[in-house]
Chains A and B, each alone.
Chain A
Amino acid sequence: MRREAQAVILALLGGAMIRISVDGSYLRYLKPGMFIFVLASGVFLLVLGIIGAWSDGLIKRGGAETADASHDHDHDHDGGESVIDDGHGHGPGGPRVAWLMLLPVISIIIIAPPALGAYAVERGTTAAEPAEAIAPLPEGGIAEIPVADFVTRAVWDEGRTLKDRPVELTGFVVPRDGGGYDLARLSLNCCAADAVAAKVNLKALKSELVPDQWVRVVGKWVPGGKLNDPRAIPVFQVSELEAIDTPKEVYE
């Protein structure tokens, strides 16, 4: 790999990282807290690439130009090492595997994969997370709470705080084995590779739904069902359902 290419690859990767952190689409892959780290390392890579592209021309004159000029057209058959020899049989050029760093750039800019959805929920971990102390729901009419919070209240607190309270949940639709639908929301601990789903079973639905459709539902917890089991899925009696656009923060 030649030096100009290295610099361009680093700058492109840096640029891609800056772009997805600034436009907020990094939230499809990471937690909000990673923003500053993605942005800062993107800036570092971009600056390193630009300075590298600019100053390598200067360094290259330091005794290597003859070798460089004579090998210019066959730089790719020597096992991927740079043609610029630094006396160790290996140049400051990178190995051929460094080209792979273009893959994340292409994935981020061209493919822009969506956030995880129903497919990941069906195959991944679904868990009702236990909690130490459960506070009462906020006062007032309809309580808007995260899906995982609802599941924890229903499964680990015998639904004490949920009895006869209308609740609003936001999540996406996952078809259930044997008919019907679940409402699910994924949460990340660090990145999408460790996503864990919280699920509720939607009852009394009047309409047909499409997998991965985002919805806001209002309804009540249905008493009964398994308790104190991390694999329990509580039941939710739906009174209102509204299809919505995918929110900016897809994970809880």
Chain B
Amino acid sequence: MSQSASTKEKSGLGPVEFIIAGLVVLLVAQRWIVQWLDDPAISNFATIFVSIVLQALPFLVFGVILSACVAAFVPPSFFAKALPKRTGAAVPIAAGAGAFLPGCECASVPLAGGLMARGVAPAAALAFLLSAPAINPIVLASTAVAFPNEPQMVIGRFIASLGVALVIGWLWSWRGKGEWIKPLVRPHTDGLSKWSVFRVSAQHDLLHAGGFLVIGGLAAAVLNTIVPREWLDAVADEPILSILALAVLAVILAICSEADAFVAASLTQFSLTSRLVFLVVGPMVDVKLISLQVGIFGRRFASRFAPATFVTAVVLASLVGWWLL
């Protein structure tokens, strides 16, 4: 104890003092800051930013807790037994297991990272990452509520999302390179008690994902504020353009997968197929998610994974929509 206390004293003005000084300055200057921000566009942006971050944080915390539980309480041998040795066979099992995680996309990113660190093949962990936020019971139920007259939307969402998870999982096991994923650094936890492992893992994941969630929230709030919705109406009657427009909208709005069905339902000027594309793309690729993936898996990974997933999701959802709807 005395050793660490003396280290802190030596450092003088450390980051903690810096944070405190910064907060004091902000508190004193609050009135001027608020005045300066008194513009409808800026306050609209600030409201949406806070709203996205606040809405995502509980789910991120939930995912981080699950991931830390995996790190602390589930031995690596469990996954070696539970999943087939051949990656090709592990992918469908992992994708199907996504149906049992009642969360949204912010929870599944840290959890997939935790699974990889625990020895699960990346292809299987990625299939889980994609399927979990799209096909779990809460998301399917909210889709059914949002589309009371079109039960085939629920079926379409399930089939298309599961399909994308399988295709991307197999694509990764065929072509993916481990070096694209930044070395999955885990905190040094040898010799710690289980609860300390839990705490250190949770803190580690939160710090790695939290900052990127903020970047994603900022990007989504900017786009949400500056992109006028009238642009959408202009393309609603063009079958191909409307699919692309809603796919891009899903990426920039960054809505939680538990709520996106209600937004899709309100986009009534669009065809059902293009709205199905919106529902399949959204939980798998959006600005907030891409940012989180950069944080957990690194830039080289996200720059390949996100575009591949986007294209696969658009194509598969369009095909399913054309067949079912």
Contacts and interface: CB of A to CB of B under 8 A. Distances in A.
Interface of A: 1-2, 4-10, 12-13, 17, 20, 26, 28-30, 34, 37-38, 40-41, 44-45, 48, 51-52, 55, 57-61, 65, 68-69, 72-73, 86-90, 92-104, 106-108, 110-111, 113-120, 123-125, 127, 129, 132, 189-194, 196, 230-231
A13 B61 CA distance: 12
Contacts of B186: 88
B5 A57 contact: yes
Nearest to A62: B191
A6 B207 contact: yes
A101 B214 contact: yes
B66 to A, nearest CB: 13
Given A2-B15, A117-B40, A190-B256, 14 more contacts: A37-B58, A48-B199, A57-B8, A86-B188, A92-B188, A94-B207, A102-B22, A114-B47, A120-B47, A190-B259, A193-B220, A193-B221, A194-B260, A230-B268
B128 to A, nearest CB: 23
Contacts of A117: 40
Contact of B266 (A69, A90, A99, A125): A125
A95 B211 contact: yes
Contacts of A73: 11
A52 B198 CA distance: 12
Chain A to chain B: the 3 pairs with minimum beta-carbon distance, closest first = A94-B207, A190-B259, A86-B188
Contacts of B185: 88-90
A95 B183 CA distance: 14
B295 interface: yes
A102 B19 contact: yes
Interface stretch (B48-56, B74-82, B237-245): B48-56
Query: A-side binding surface: helix, strand, loop or mixed?
Result: helix
Contacts of A194: 253, 255, 259-260, 262-263
Query: B-side binding surface: helix, strand, loop or mixed?
Result: helix
B303 interface: no
Contacts of B1: 57-58
Interface in B213-228: 214-215, 217-218, 220-221, 224-225, 228
Interface residues of B, number: 82
A124 B55 contact: no
11 contacts: A4-B16, A13-B57, A29-B47, A34-B54, A37-B58, A110-B26, A113-B43, A116-B48, A190-B259, A191-B55, A193-B253
B307 interface: no
B4 A192 contact: no
Given A4-B8, A95-B207, A194-B262, A120 B44 contact: yes
A57 B4 contact: yes
Given A69-B7, A104-B53, A113 B148 contact: no
A196 B266 contact: yes
Interface stretch (B27-35, B87-95, B150-158): B27-35
Nearest to A88: B185
B208 to A, nearest CB: 6
B215 to A, nearest CB: 6
A125 B211 contact: no
Given A38-B58, A119-B44, A191-B51, A45 B33 contact: no
Contacts of B188: 86-88, 92
A56 to B, nearest CB: 8
Contacts of A108: 50, 54
A244 to B, nearest CB: 21
Contacts of B214: 100-101, 103-104
Contact of B268 (A59, A127, A193): A127
A110 B30 contact: yes
B84 interface: no
Given A104-B214, A113-B47, A26 B54 contact: yes
B258 A190 contact: yes
Interface in B176-229: 183, 185-188, 192, 196, 199-200, 202-204, 206-208, 210-212, 214-215, 217-218, 220-221, 224-225, 228-229
Nearest to A106: B26
B2 to A, nearest CB: 10
Contacts of B220: 193
